Amino acid sequence: MNGTVVSLQLVTRHGERPRAVEEARALVDHGLEGDIHGKTKPGSRRQVLITERATLTGMGLRPGDLRDQITVALEVLESLPAGTRLRMGEATLELSGPCEPCTHIGALNGVPDPVAFQQMLQGRRGQLARVVAVAGDGRIRIGDPVIVQSPVPR
């Protein structure tokens, strides 16, 4: 049930395409360094968006098209419950739930029918997560294993 980090992207400005990077530094309770999500809202459930590569490929999309920061090869991603922790490189992220497709995601991708695109993404846009722990510098790199840990008891 484990996987691999296959792509990393940083969203540096709203409305712009994410920038692909080889590695990213995770910051506890803030997301990824240099990314606009989470850094101004500590504790936000949308610090990082994680998508599954096969889902993107199946829809003819590339990593970053859904404004995801981390793309993984982990087929069970969409079925994991909130509270599940994923260890990636030097960071541990806790899933906070599925990402609902926003109304403007189609326009950001230049699709001819943004409403149909949004509907196609229902239940398939990935999982939101927050950074809950880091070791060392908190680096996540392409090729790092993704280790699924049990949900933390509340």
Q: Write the burial class of residue 79 (CB in 10 Å: 0-12 exposed, 13-18 middle, 19+ buried).
A: exposed
CATH of the domain at 127: 2.40.33.20
Strand duo 3-10 + 19-21: pairing: antiparallel
The domain tally of the chain equals 1
Residue 21 counted as domain residue = yes
44 belongs to a structural domain:
yes
Task: Give a yes or no: residue 73 inside a domain.
Answer: yes
Residue 75 is which amino acid? E
Q: Which of 64, 90, 74 is nearest to 9 (CA)?
A: 64
pLDDT of residue 85: 96
SS3 content of the chain, % helix, strand, coil (to 5): 15, 35, 50
CA distance 92 to 141: 13
In a domain, 151, yes or no: no
Residues 34-77 pLDDT 10s: 988 765 666 677 799 999 999 999 888 899 888 889 999 999 99
Task: Classify residue 51: in a domain, yes or no.
Answer: yes
- Residue 148 domain-assigned (yes or no): no
Domain encompassing residue 78? 3-135
Question: Is 46 contained in some domain?
Answer: yes
Q: Is residue 74 part of a domain?
A: yes
Task: Identify the pLDDT of residue 119.
Answer: 77
